[in-house]
Structure 1
Amino acid sequence: MSDSPKPNQWQTLDKDLNKISQLETATAYVSRPLLAPGIAFAFIALTVLLAALFFEASTNSFVVIAAAGFGAYMALNIGANDVANNMGPAVGANALTMGSAIVIAALFESAGALIAGGDVVSTISKGIIDPAGFAETRIFIWAMMAALISSALWVNLATFVGAPVSTTHSVVGGVMGAGIAAAGFSAVNWPTMGAIAASWVISPVLGGVIAAACLAFIKTKIIYQDDKIAAARKWVPVLIGVMAAAFSAYLSLKGLKRIIEIDILTALLIGVVVGAIVYVVSAPLIKRQSEGLENRNKSLKVLFAAPLVISAAMLSFAHGANDVANAVGPLAAIVHASEFGDFSAKVEIPLWVMVIGALGISFGLVLFGPKLIRMVGSQITKLNPMRAYCVALSAAVTVIVASWLGLPVSSTHIAVGGVFGVGFFREWHTERRLRNSRQQRPPEKRIAPEERRRRKLVRRSHFMTIIAAWVITVPAAAAMSALIFIILNTLVV
């Protein structure tokens, strides 16, 4: 008699194997969302471990080690939220894939932080509070720790709900709240806070107006011309030259301060020279690239793709050079106060602190950045290379104008404001063309208000979410920081 399995035994075996396969699939499905937080936690743990090995024999080592961990956590959140503003338009316009955008942003953010990051930073976040108002070093350290924790928590919450917020403003709010809790309202520099509050309005409005004006220029001079290719050969090199001039001046002001101090007039002169050189070089390249292209809008996207990618990389470099130092400022202040036993409005940022910022931003961007990149790039309004180019150009020009006027601005607010400006300009332009076309043909059936709202080119839900997040960033971070300071000061003596 044969010992081979019977048919029903094969069926039982198949069912058991199928159950195991389903269990493996379910396990992979459940564990996949935990991968990114797990890697982030490992990065924070590694930072804490290295800080513990480096500072094990120093005084206040526990404070510095804890601050290093929270600094790594803050850097992860900067990468997850702030960097999306630089890469979102390029990804939304399909000039870059998500993977390429993440690689470029990680490289240029890190390069900006490590090569051109400011070696001296106002760790009291541009004079928000007066260090002399603190009674002792311990109080100052806990205030900076509270500011670091609260700003990181707030940016994390904003990323979770899909709202791009300013990390610099989060740090400002955190420092202000901890300063009030530690030394009273008199410790806060209220005129400076007023200027920062004004930037909430000035940054996005100025960025939006410049982006809309740029798009209007492109539509008038290139898109609506009979011979689009000939118009592009004439004006695209000019626009590339303007972009090069703006970014050269921008990087001179924001990215080279570690090497040499440059005033606004010198930066503008550098921008003009570089812009002229780039125009001379790009004109024959654009002419060669445009040969054989069809006379339609799709062909124009090809000519704007490369400048858009370059502008996104330059925005990332400048962001790494400028904003990262501000974000890790409280960590630098804690390290300085712990090592020297005093506190100062300005301290040198140690190299290892900048490395934490640079690596944390890269990890945060890779692990959590795609959500905000998609939101900025495609969910607010539809972008193509021309519109995204206008957003990038407006970011650089707005910083130059704001620096000339002496106004504190947020790169986040400028970039997102540029996206809104492009979207609202398209709405206005589309409505105007529809009105003109209706005057030349018989009246059509009236569109219901609900349908008109559905046809809007800017998603109002994202608009309201982002504006609300901007408005409450400073007070929310301040309230959280004050509460955290009180807890730290009470529990740790």
Structure 2
Amino acid sequence: MTDRDFEARHLETLDRDLGRMTTFEQATAFVGRPLIGKGIAFLFLLAAALFATIAFSDADNPVLIILAATFGAYMALNIGANDVANNMGPAVGANAVTLGGAIAIAAICETAGALIAGGDVVSTIAKGIIAPESLGSVDVFIWAMMAALLSSALWVNLATWVGAPVSTTHSVVGGVMGAGIAAAGFAAVSWDQMGMIAASWIISPIMGGAIAAGFLWFIKERIIYRDDKIAAARTWVPVLVGVMAGVFAAYLSMKGLKNLIKIDLATALAIGGGIGVLIWGVMIPVIRRQSEGLENRNKSLKVLFGIPLIVSAALLSFAHGANDVANAVGPLAAIVQASQSGQFVDTFAIPLWVMLIGAFGISFGLFIFGPRLIRIVGNEITKLNPMRAYCVALSAAITVIFASWLGLPVSSTHIAVGGVFGVGFFREWYAQRRVPMARRIAPEPAVIAREERRRRKLVRRSHVMTIAAAWVITVPAAALLSAIIFKVISVLAA
């Protein structure tokens, strides 16, 4: 063997060893990636517990407050992992923004909504589900809130693992109801309120889906299937953006900023109408300039809806942070208030540190665990483009305003996902209705193979069934889990 052959064989062996090391490093990184996320989540829970330890070391019940702070941080992480996907998922699925960009926008807007316009006063018992007096003592009340907080967080965590977007507010309501029943019996529950919540399981997604489908029909008929798509877009896109601006102005006036200034529905609608007309006028020259040089095809239309879609998703995240964070950390604030004062009251202020736990917990949960649900909502239920995703975002805001006017306790999760379902099912119906001329000339066979029928479905039925089942069992599952946890806490604390 010559020196050259020996050197070549040596280099070949070295390449194989380096290849094995590279493969090992890649495998280690792949396996360790989930552990890094869980490690960051654990550090956040530890930080919340340490803060509560330092801040409330002189309290009468420091251990309870420390545990409650940890449970509240855990709940906030799960909200970020599950609930926020409904706002940013459609924009990501439509390729209007990258996954990283969506997470950054949502984290900033959710945190801003929670800290700027977050609920500083909430009901002690999740919108009147349970009367505090029925629980008998402050200790029982604290145990019930602890059970509700932990059970709702565990349920949302399980739903995220399964891949089902669920309502965190309904999870909290179920947790409070279960703990209340375990503590004071079925008579303690306001069943009228629970009936309204149960009705919202059906009303919310149907209303959101119908409105989203209606806007998509309008876009198809007035813009997409016109001979001159660009001219039609110049006429109607400013109108649609104006509608979006007006709806969100009314929505944020009435809901997102309700804790900074009290605004009734009529005033909010007047504000929304004025801003909508203003934005419509501003967008006319903007869309005209943006559409110059675009080809007369559907791909060009996606460009015109991209920025409005991103803005609408950001506004939805802000409104979500302003409204739903308070519901999630409400039990934590109730525990702190009751443990410090020794009594429970109908309403109370949420401390800033509790809102910080909620706001930053949502951001961490979204960053670490949110991508999976974002992909499911944005890509795996039905195929979205900027026009379809825009319809989903617009329907979410309109449905919340309409439901608030009717007094229905709807879920933003149900509305947004219902909008995605509505867009997908409408596309199926519209595709069958708008049969191409070629198929009219050459009719399809009377019997179509099962695989072909399945291929033509534009909505994945497996996700429909999984998500619908998760919605239906959220309240009873969280209630059962909460009742068990309450009994365990009662035994340990006795």
TM bracket, shorter-chain basis? over 0.9
Q: Distance in 1 between matches of 2:157 and 2:443?
A: 54
Change (3 A) 1:8 1:69: same
Distance in 2 between residues matched to 1:19 and 1:291, nearest whole Å: 54
Match of 1:431 in 2: 432
Partner of 1:332: 333
Residue in structure 2 matched with residue 55 of structure 1 by the alignment: 56
Distance 1:443 1:9 in 2: 65
Instruction: Please give the alpha-carbon distance, in whole angstroms, between the structure 2 residues aligned to 1:396 and 1:437.
Output: 40
Q: Give 1:438 shift.
A: 3.9
Cα distance, 1:19 vs. partner? 6.3
Does residue 42 (structure 1) correspond to residue 53 (structure 2)? The answer is no
- Partners in 2 of 1:21 and 1:229 — Cα distance? 51
Q: 2:77 is matched by which residue type in structure 1?
A: L
Structure 1 pair 137/288, CA: closer, same or farther in 2 (3 Å)? Answer: same
What amino acid is the match of 1:71? Answer: G
The aligned counterpart of 1:98 is 99
Residue aligning to 1:409: 410
Q: Which amino acid aligns with 2:101?
A: S
- Alignment partners' CA distance in 2, 1:88 and 1:6: 55
Which amino acid in the other structure matches residue 316 of structure 2? L
CA separation of 1:473 and 1:16: change in aligned 2, threshold 3 A:
same
Q: Distance in 2 between matches of 1:225 and 1:7?
A: 67
When the two chains are superposed, the root-mean-square deviation of aligned CA atoms in Å is 1.9
Q: Deviations over 1:271-323 (max 9, x none)?
A: 10110111111111011101111111111000000100000000000000000
Q: Which amino acid aligns with 1:37?
A: K
Q: 1:126 — aligned with what?
A: 127
Paired with 2:25 and 2:31, the residues of 1 have a C-alpha distance of: 10
Equivalent residue of 2:258, what SS?
coil
Bigger shift: residues 252-261 or 221-230: 252-261
1:462 matched to 2:468? The reply is: no
**Could you tell me how far apart the structure 2 residues matched to 1:78 and 1:488 are?**
24
Asked whether the 8 Å contact 1:130–1:345 carries over to 2, the reply is: no
Displacement of 1:449 after TM fit?
3.0
Which residue in the other structure is 1:369 paired with?
A: 370
Structure 1 equivalent of residue 3 of structure 2? none
Counterpart code for 1:258: N
Cα distance in 2 between the residues matched to 1:436 and 1:189: 58
Letter in 2 for 1:47: A
Change (3 A) 1:277 1:179: same
Determine the structure 2 residue equivalent to 1:293: 294
Write out aligned runs for 1:16-27 (5 A). Answer: 23-27=24-28
Further displaced range: 286-295 or 13-22 = 13-22
CA 1:433/1:8 → structure 2, altered by over 3 Å: closer, same or farther? closer
- The answer to which of 259-268 and 353-362 deviates more is 259-268
Matches of residues 297-446 of structure 1 in structure 2 within 5 Å? 297-434=298-435, 438-444=439-445, 446=447
2:118, 2:296 → 1: CA distance? 45
| Deviation of 1:111 (Å) | 0.2
Residues 74 and 327, structure 1, Cα contact 8 Å, conserved in 2: yes
Amino acid in structure 1 at the alignment position of 2:344: F
Task: Sort the Cα spacing of 1:146 and 1:443 in 2 relative to 1 into closer, same or farther, 3 A.
Answer: closer
CA–CA distance in structure 1, aligned partners of residues 17 and 77 of structure 2: 43
After superposition, what is the alpha-carbon deviation per residue over 1:99-133, rounded to whole angstroms, capped at 9, x for unaligned?
10000000000000000001101131110000010
CA distance in 2, matches of 1:163, 1:10: 51
| Equivalent in the alignment of 2:115 | 114
What is the distance in 1 between the residues matched to 2:215 and 2:7?
77
CA separation in 2, counterparts of 1:147 and 1:421?
A: 33
Q: 1:251 to 1:7 in 2, by over 3 A?
A: closer
TM-score scaled by length of structure 1 = 0.96
Structure 1 residue 489 corresponds to structure 2 residue 490? yes
Q: What amino acid sits opposite 1:176 in the alignment?
A: M
Contact 1:127 1:345 in 2 (8 A): no
**Map of 1:26-37 to 2, 5 A cutoff?**
26-37=27-38
Encode CA deviations 1:137-161: one digit per residue, 9 max, x unaligned.
1000000000000000000000001
Question: For residues 396 and 420 of structure 2, what CA distance do their matches in structure 1 show?
Answer: 10
Question: How far apart, in 2, do the equivalents of 1:435 and 1:12 lie?
Answer: 61
The residue aligned with 1:474 is: 475
**Structure 1 residues 408 and 437: alpha-carbon distance in aligned structure 2, compared to 1, 3 A threshold:** farther
What percent identity do the matched residue pairs reach?
Answer: 70
Aligned to 1:230, the other structure's residue is in SS state helix
Task: Give the counterpart letter for 1:274 in structure 2.
Answer: I
Where structure 2 has 5 or more consecutive residues not aligned to the other structure, the ranges are 1-5
* Counterpart amino acid of residue 221 in structure 1: R
Give the SS at the match of 2:122.
Answer: strand
- Residue 439 of structure 1 deviates from its aligned partner by 3.8
Paired with 2:305 and 2:156, the residues of 1 have a C-alpha distance of 33
- CA 1:420–1:436 in structure 2 vs 1: closer, same or farther (change >3 Å)? farther
Unaligned segments of structure 1, at least 5 residues: none
Q: Name the CA distance, whole Å, in 2 between partners of 1:328 and 1:198.
A: 25
Aligned pair count? 489
Question: 1:174–1:437: structure 2 CA closer, same or farther, 3 Å change rule?
Answer: farther
Superposed CA offset, 1:4-50 (max 9, x none): x9999999988877766655444333222211111101110111011
Aligned 8 A contact 1:377 1:383 in 2: yes
Where 2:434 maps in the other structure, the secondary structure is helix
Q: Is the 8 A contact 1:301 1:386 kept in 2?
A: yes
Give the equivalent residue in structure 2 for 1:284.
285
Q: Given that residues 95 and 308 in structure 1 are in contact (C-alpha distance below 8 angstroms), is that contact kept between their aligned partners in structure 2?
A: yes
1:248-287 correspondence to structure 2 within 5 Å: 248-287=249-288
CA gap of 1:446–1:340, structure 2 versus 1, over 3 A, is: same
Residues in 2 aligned to 1:357 and 1:183: alpha-carbon distance in whole angstroms? 29
Separation of aligned partners in 2, 1:214 and 1:21: 51
After superposition, the Cα gap between the structure-2 partners of 1:181 and 1:435, relative to the gap in structure 1 and judged at 3 Å, is: farther
Q: Tell me: CA distance 1:94–1:16, structure 2 relative to 1, closer, same or farther (3 Å).
A: closer
| Cα distance between partner residues in 2 of 1:164 and 1:11 | 51
SS in 1 for 2:435: helix
Partners of 1:307 and 1:401 lie apart in 2 by: 22
Give the Cα separation in 2 of the matches to 1:183 and 1:162.
Answer: 34
For the residue of structure 2 that corresponds to 1:434, the secondary structure is coil
TM-fit CA distance, 1:450? 3.4
Aligned match of 1:73: 74
